[in-house]
Amino acid sequence: MIIIWICIILLAGIGLTVYMIRNAFEDNVHTEVLSFKNLPHSIEGKSLFFISDIHRRKISVELLKKLKQKPDWIVIGGDLAEKGVPYARIADNLSILKEIAPLYFVWGNNDYEVNEEQLRELFVRFDVRELKNEVFELQNEQLSFVGVDDVSTQELPPIESILENVKPDSFQIMFSHNPAILAMLPEDHQLSLILSGHTHGGQIRIFGLGPYQKGSIRERNGTLLLVSNGYGTSLLPLRLGAKPETHLLILKKRPQNVSQNGVATYRMY
């Protein structure tokens, strides 16, 4: 009887491991329509593809086939790489993404484990616009991309000094790898959307519980904060209860006649 129970436990363990491995390599694109009262008409209908925490994973062509529309911009939200990842794989990932839309990048904590000079050589090769504690204006200065370094770096300047460079009447989107950036923002910031990753949604959640909150979109004082589960994994390629995800974000102007609290809303399909 003991041997039978041991066999059952072993088979269950093997089955669970296989299930977690399969979860870790899923290709999921969440399409989210975000509506804002202050969205300029020139940005109406524009879309952004957000992918974070790639780590060691190879981006699948099948992933990009799931995009419901061609994005106008692609933003890599940090942890494009980590120690030990072949540069050829990083190059392949950037090459696949570049075929879709212009690339933008913010640093994650694991990106600093690789040779920064070699990584920047790849950025030059694939026209990746690095956003390191700076503001990049698009759409005739009506759209501001605010890129902030990972909060763990000692070189992170005061957030106020970065936001001072934002054109006040532009539509402002911040990209920062770690969602802890939210607690560092000044109360009077004008950001409409903040995109981050880092947490992997806990990666392995037992009975719904994990070390981090599961990826989500939530509103806080009129600003939408998206925290992604990320595309890859850290340590072992295993996921449970926090599937990998990427995001196609479609920006919409909210009609003036729509009565709803807050300045931003979202819906998924």
Give me the mean pLDDT over the 32-53 stretch. Answer: 95
pLDDT of residue 54 exceeding 90: yes
pTM, to two decimals: 0.93
Q: Kindly report the number of other CB atoms within 10 A of residue 123's CB atom.
A: 15
CB neighbours of residue 121 within 10 Å: 13
Q: What is the CATH number of domain 2-268?
A: 3.60.21.10
Report the pLDDT value the prediction gives residue 257, as an integer from 0 to 100. Answer: 61
CA angle 27, 66, 128 (to 5 degrees): 80
Using an 8 Å Cβ cutoff, are 37 and 224 in contact?
A: no
Rounded to 5°, angle at Cα 265 from 261 and 267: 135
Q: What is the mean pLDDT of residues 97-106?
A: 98
Q: What is the pLDDT of residue 256?
A: 67
* pLDDT of 31 higher than 80: yes
pLDDT of residue 6: 80
Secondary structure element (H or E) that encloses residue 53, with its range:
none
First to last CA, the chain: 49
Burial of 220 per CB tally in 10 Å (0-12, 13-18, 19+): exposed
Q: What's the distance, CA 54 to chain centroid?
A: 10
